[in-house]
Structure formats: structure tokens, C-alpha cells
């Protein structure tokens, strides 16, 4: 059963977990992926029985998997989640035809995604071209598949045209901010309550929440579900002091993930799982372009894990 847009917007004001996809010898461990989804679904500490939100996106290495592999990953996630959660599929928009075909395929799954997150557009394009192409694509797939879209904002040049796109299209329900806190207010001020502005740079999200962002993405929810959920619970309750206390606990791991332009965004999460020796989630041995971290970084992560493992 398709979730209503109103319920979808309410549900997204939450932790949007982006679990890593485990790899072994450059092959996706699909059983491990299913186990990771089970962990997230069975360790939901969100207040008021709110549904878990899971997105197969950047930390999941969607840039490094083939379309048929991505379909299988989304299919497994959907089957494990059923109607107990909200599922988002991230889409790489280059080339646009491949993305459109992927939506066609995903929409036919027994448990299709509830929304699609359009990742930052690469290559040569104009802001006008971005607007024209995405507004047509959203209209087509909304009419054919009842698709709803979020846009991942990363390029300041495009801010005004992305705001216009979300304002003008009823099928774009919001934006994920991937730049900095300074960009939260312009989007919050421009978009009404029929749209959502989501903080997209990890669990240190309270400053953005105070500016009007709703919900945040988390690449470490798979490691410390209790921490990510506690941050969001506190923010919804207006208890920003508590949210910041939990943020301070997980900040050392986030610092490593975001160092050197997010060099260890994926591999630090993998290393934390391995060094913690958790048996209910699967790290894998390293994904494409994302091997295990250097020894000195691993030593730091080992210390950090001992201080935050109680949040698992």
C-alpha cells in the first residue's frame, strides 16, 4: 500500500539511516545486507513508535554498483522492511536515461521505494537545464508510478533553481542539505509546510534543527542506532541540550568520517563495526574505492568504539 505524501513527510522528520553495503572480494554480500537491514528495523529507538527510515544512498556506495545490483539491494531492503518502515532509493542522474529506467524497474518491485533521492548532478549542465529535465522526469514518473522525489543539494550555484524546482513541482517533496548550516534557512524560508528540508551531513544536526531542518541522515546509525535515534527524539521534543550531549559522544567518529573531504565516510563505519566485533551487523572487507582505513586511523577508531559501543 502506498504511503500518503502527508504521512511520508511526517515520517521523514526522523533519522534517515544510510547503511553501508558490505562487500567481500569486491562482491556484494547480499545476506550481510539483509542482516544489516534487520538490525536497523529491530533496533528502532525512535519515540512514539515512529517508523524507521532507510535510504540506500551514498554511504551505501550506490555510485559503485551496477543498476541490477542496486535493484537487488533495494528489493532485499524492501522485503526485510515490509510496511514497518519508509524506504528511499538514491538515484545517480548521469545519464538521465539510465536513472529513468531504474525508476521503472524499482517501481515494479513487490515492495517499491516510498521516495527517490536524486543525487547531485555531474558533468556539464546549466541551472535551467537541471530545472527543465527534472521537472519533466518527476511529472512523468509521478503520473506513471506515483513517484515522490527529494533533491540532494550540494552545489551552491544551483540553490535558487533547486528551490524553484521544489516549489513548482508537487512531486518534489523536499531537499537534503549537503553543504552547510548556512543553506538551511534559505530553503526553510522559501518552502512551505508541504515540503521538507532535511539535514544531510550526519548526526551532528542540532544546529540545523534549530534553524528549521526536519530529520537528518545518518551513516553511523548502523553502528550506534541508540545515539542517532536519541538525537532525533531530543530534537523533536525541543531538548536541544540533550541532543548536543549525544552529538558530543559520537563526534569523534564523525570527525574521522568527514576528514579530507569525506575520505573515510564509508570505511570508518566499516572499521568501527569490525573493531567492535558486533555479531548482528556485517561490515564486509572493503568496497570498491573504499578499502579499510590506515593503521593509525584504525587505532583511533578502536578507542572511539570503546566509548560509544553502548549506543549499539
Residues 112-136: tens digit of each pLDDT? 999 999 999 999 999 999 999 999 9
pLDDT bucket at 37, cuts 50 / 70 / 90: very high
For 65, the domain range is: 5-239
Q: Write out the chain in H/E/C secondary structure.
A: CCCCHHHHHHHHCCEEECCCCCEECCEECHHHHHHHHHHHHHCCCCHHHCCEEEEECHHHCHHHCCHHHHHHHHHHHHHHHCCCEEEEEEECCCCHHHHHHHHHHHHCCCCCCCEEEECCCCCCCCHHHHHHHHHHHHHHHHHHHCCCEEEEECCHHHHHHHHHHHHHCCCEEEEEECCCHHHHHHHHHHCCCCCEEEECCCCCCHHHHHCCCCCEEECCCCCCHHHHHHHHHHHHCCCHHHHHHHHHHHHHHHHHHHHHHHCCCCHHHHHHHHHHCCCCCCCCCCECCECCCCHHHHHHHHHHHHHHHHHC
- What percent of the chain is modeled with pLDDT above 70? 100
Number of domains in the chain: 1
| Residue 256 forms part of a structural domain | no
Q: Decide if pLDDT at 185 tops 90.
A: yes
Q: Is residue 224 part of a domain?
A: yes
Residue 259 covered by a domain:
no
Q: What is residue 186's predicted lDDT score, i.e. its pLDDT?
A: 97
Question: Is 0.85 topped by the overall pTM?
Answer: yes
Q: Does residue 302 fall inside a structural domain?
A: no
pLDDT at 167: 98
C-alpha cell at 236: 523533536
Average pLDDT of the chain to the nearest whole number: 97
CATH code for position 78: 3.20.20.70
pLDDT in tens, 41-97: 999 999 999 999 999 999 999 999 999 999 999 999 999 999 999 999 999 999 999
Q: What is the pLDDT of residue 133?
A: 98
pLDDT mean over 154-171? 97
Cβ contacts of 219 within 8 Å, gap of 6 or more: 18, 20, 58, 59, 202, 257, 265, 266, 269
Q: What's the mean pLDDT in 167-191?
A: 97
What pLDDT does 80 receive? 97
Give domain status of residue 151, yes or no.
Answer: yes
Question: Residue 213 pLDDT more than 90?
Answer: yes
Band of pLDDT at residue 1, cut at 50, 70 and 90: low
Confidence of residue 26 (pLDDT cuts 50, 70, 90): confident
Establish if 255 belongs to a structural domain.
Answer: no
Residue 154 lies in a domain: yes
**Model confidence pLDDT, tens digit, residues 240-253:** 999 999 999 999 99
Structure confidence at residue 44 (pLDDT): 98
Residue 270 domain-assigned (yes or no): no
Amino acid at each position: 500500500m502506498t504511503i500518503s505524501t502527508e504521512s511520508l513527510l511526517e515520517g521523514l522528520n526522523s533519522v534517515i539511516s544510510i547503511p553501508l553495503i558490505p562487500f567481500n572480494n569486491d562482491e556484494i554480500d547480499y545476506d550481510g545486507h539483509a542482516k544489516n537491514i534487520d538490525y536497523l528495523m529491530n533496533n528502532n529507538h525512535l519515540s512514539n513508535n515512529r517508523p524507521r527510515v532507510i535510504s540506500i544512498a551514498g554511504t551505501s556506495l550506490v555510485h559503485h554498483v551496477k543498476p541490477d545490483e542496486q535493484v537487488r539491494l533495494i528489493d532485499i531492503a524492501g522485503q526485510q522492511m515490509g510496511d514497518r518502515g519508509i524506504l528511499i532509493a538514491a538515484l545517480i542522474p548521469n545519464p538521465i536515461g539510465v536513472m529513468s529506467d531504474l525508476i521503472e524497474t524499482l517501481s515494479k518491485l513487490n515492495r517499491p521505494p516510498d521516495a527517490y533521492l536524486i543525487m547531485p548532478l555531474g558533468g556539464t549542465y546549466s541551472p535551467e537545464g537541471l530545472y527543465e529535465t527534472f521537472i519533466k522526469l518527476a511529472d512523468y514518473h509521478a503520473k506513471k508510478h506515483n513517484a515522490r522525489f527529494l533533491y540532494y543539494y550540494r552545489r551552491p550555484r544551483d540553490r535558487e533553481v533547486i528551490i524553484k524546482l521544489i516549489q513548482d513541482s508537487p512531486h518534489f517533496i523536499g531537499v537534503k542539505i549537503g553543504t552547510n548550516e548556512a543553506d538551511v534557512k534559505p530553503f526553510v524560508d522559501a518552502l512551505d509546510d508541504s515540503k521538507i528540508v532535511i539535514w544531510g551531513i550526519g548526526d551532528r544536526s542540532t544546529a540545523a534543527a534549530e534553524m528549521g531542518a526536519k530529520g537528518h541522515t545518518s551513516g553511523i546509525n548502523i553502528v550506534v542506532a541508540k545515539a542517532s535515534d536519541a538525537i532525533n527524539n531530543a530534537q523533536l521534543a525541543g531538548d536541544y541540550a540533550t541532543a548536543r550531549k549525544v552529538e558530543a559522544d559520537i563526534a569523534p567518529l564523525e570527525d574521522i568520517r568527514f576528514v579530507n573531504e569525506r575520505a573515510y565516510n564509508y570505511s570508518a563505519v566499516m572499521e568501527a563495526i569490525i573493531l567492535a566485533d558486533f555479531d548482528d551487523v556485517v561490515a564486509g572487507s572493503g568496497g570498491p574505492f573504499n578499502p579499510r582505513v590506515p593503521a593509525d586511523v584504525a587505532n583511533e577508531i578502536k578507542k572511539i568504539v570503546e566509548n560509544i559501543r553502548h549506543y549499539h
